[in-house]
A and B are shown apart, each in its own frame.
Chain A
């Protein structure tokens, strides 16, 4: 991924911020709230009843537009793990009703007339990094293109548990731009592992395989850019059980102080957006210095694992 940069990070979360105990009382959780609190979760964000995943995506992209960064967009790559559109209650006669085109709606809404659209929906909680990888591939094969807008958005349907694989879930979206012009980070690589044999893995298998695969993922991702895990200056993680990365840091030979997930307690796991929320927080904190290398690993159902490696540019 030579000569690619990433920046213009933005995110939007469900409008209702709830304490974990409120959600437990409302029947939105599977685990006892004290068990999720022991994992590090405290609050999460849930959409207002009429809000959709598209609304969240729109809100995130609108922030980029407001900053004047939504220019020269040649493609939109839109990732979601819940791609179903709005459907009625009766039998479907015209299957168009089952189709949904949120990336196309963003293109039209923000006047991105020259952008083509790509959808990703089989990478679950790793989709945001899949979008970065596809963006990089598109830029590699289209020499005249300059910038690709990457978006991820998910909103759980009414009545769904806001808990997956023992993680507290928030509705939310995140967006960023991958392009050729210098930006806050260089995008060095995105590495992916898929094990379709575990495509229907339950929560316990998902947790059980998490350590071996994430260990492998980070090592392989680092190796793709000539590094070892110990060479990484930061590891920006998803918001998951706080013990998970204490363990993984030891296994990978990393200083746990370099593991960054400051929004765990108050944002929760936003499908594939929370790692980008944490990345924004790191870049906004001023602690990441030019030249430092950042790994952003994600794990998701499917089962999928992806890890991006970035270098702070400015």
Chain B
């Protein structure tokens, strides 16, 4: 009985492998050559004592080096997770790659579970309550969202496989200490505000954000390995956009350097205004604004589309579920960002 983890060297894949240490694991990683494979093997040796195999989901037969007879569980964590990913890349890696995982899964005669790590934002442009069910196409604000929805569909549409879809929140810290090891749109946005490079706030301040730690998310994923197949939304308790910004600025204002600069809190703006500002900023020569905005802008529309993610199935399947204090998490993550002067080193 072996668990195959794709994207096992990724931010979450590595932590899931660590959580399953002691079980029979096969760690699938993407690498350009044997040298990179050796490097990744060395890194993962600290995580789990398990074979590391090269798997590139863009290949025609990516699992050629994995024996399907051994595999009883697949955790499909490999994906491109950038909001500014192109449609083509998202399609190749997240959609076609998932289709190849599905093909492989069909060859695994003893398969008990195929878990796809998806995103809460596979809900796309819908507003209001979002249930732990299959989504229809409500439109998407970026290709990443679309590709994760399409990946879900790829696994849920044809019946026959024991599929679990785990829709993940936005990870802003490793754990409740607030330690940040990976940047995403949240951290880029905070950096812009802290640097005074952005004073507009895209979104409705009342929009709930689903922010979580990697620790909470990995606990949820491992709990769902024992749960029946189906769709689960991993949401630890929301914080509103406005409260998150107020919390971040309250932390920033403890920083003497920030306080001396007397930077104003951002003002909420409508979607068209933020779009205009981002478009204009693209033509500002080579400053720090463009790369940071590139990760924020493709997601900004979501901040105008309030969603309330239901977690009934998750809580029923995971007796250890405990809501997290998202406001405290924002404060801890922002404190960590300031202590590191917004420099992040992957561990």
With A246-B276, A247-B277 given, is the CB distance from A211 to B267 under 8 Å?
Answer: yes
Inside 8 A of B262's CB, which chain A residues have their CB? 195, 197-198
| Chain B positions near chain A (C-beta within 8 angstroms) | 192, 195-200, 260-267, 269-270, 272-273, 276-277, 279-281, 283-285, 287-289
CB distance from A31 to the nearest CB of B (A): 5
Q: CA separation between A209 and B197, bound complex, in Å?
A: 7
CB of A35 closer than 8 Å to a CB of B: yes
Say which residue of B266, B269, B285 sits within 8 Å of A30 (CB atoms).
B285
CB closest chain-A residue, reference B200:
A211
At the interface, yes or no: A293 with Cβ under 8 Å from chain B? Answer: no
Binds B, one of A69-77, A78-86, A148-156, A199-207: A199-207
Chain A to chain B: the 3 pairs with minimum beta-carbon distance, closest first: A212-B199, A208-B197, A197-B261
Whether B270 and A208, one on each chain, are in contact in the complex, defined by CB atoms closer than 8 angstroms, is no
B283 and A39 contacting across the interface, CB-CB below 8 Å: yes
Q: Judging by beta carbons under 8 Å apart, are A212 and B272 in contact?
A: no
What are 27 pairs between A and B in contact, CB < 8 Å? A30-B285, A31-B284, A32-B285, A35-B285, A195-B261, A197-B260, A198-B196, A198-B261, A201-B196, A202-B287, A203-B284, A204-B287, A204-B288, A205-B195, A207-B284, A208-B289, A209-B196, A209-B199, A211-B199, A211-B200, A212-B199, A241-B280, A243-B277, A243-B279, A247-B200, A247-B276, A250-B273
Contacts of A241 in B (CB 8 A): 280
Query: How many Å lie between the Cα of A204 and that of B280 in the bound state?
Result: 12
Q: What's the Cα separation between A212 and B266 when bound, in Å?
A: 6
Which residue, A32, A210, A247, has most C-beta atoms of chain B within 10 A? A247
Residues of A within 8 A of B269 (CB): 211, 247, 250-251
Q: Interface SS of chain A: helix, strand, loop or mixed? A: helix
Q: Are B284 and A166 touching (Cβ within 8 A)?
A: yes
Once bound together, how far apart are the Cα atoms of A39 and B196, in whole Å?
22
Q: Which residues of B contact A205 (CB under 8 A)?
A: 195-197
Are B287 and A212 closer than 8 Å at their CB atoms?
Answer: no
A202 to B195, CA, bound (A): 11
A213 on the B face (CB < 8 A): yes
User: In the complex where A201-B196, A204-B197, A209-B264 touch, is A250 in contact with B283 (Cβ < 8 A)?
Assistant: no
Q: Do B267 and A215 touch across chains, with their CB atoms under 8 A apart?
A: yes
Chain B CB within 8 A of A216 CB: yes
CB distance from A264 to the nearest CB of B (A): 14
Mask: chain A, 178-222; 1 = CB below 8 Å from B; 0 = not: 000000000000000001011001111101111111011000000
A314 interface residue (CB < 8 Å to B): no
- B288 to A: closest C-beta gap in Å: 6
Bound together, the chains give a CA A223 to CA B288 distance in angstroms of 35
Cβ of B279: which chain A residues have Cβ within 8 Å of it?
243
The answer to whether the Cβ of A38 comes within 8 Å of any Cβ in the partner chain is yes
Contacts of B276 in A (CB 8 A): 243, 246-247
Report the bound CA distance from A131 to B285 in whole Å: 33
Q: Which residue of chain B lies nearest to A207 when distances are taken between CB atoms in the complex?
A: B284
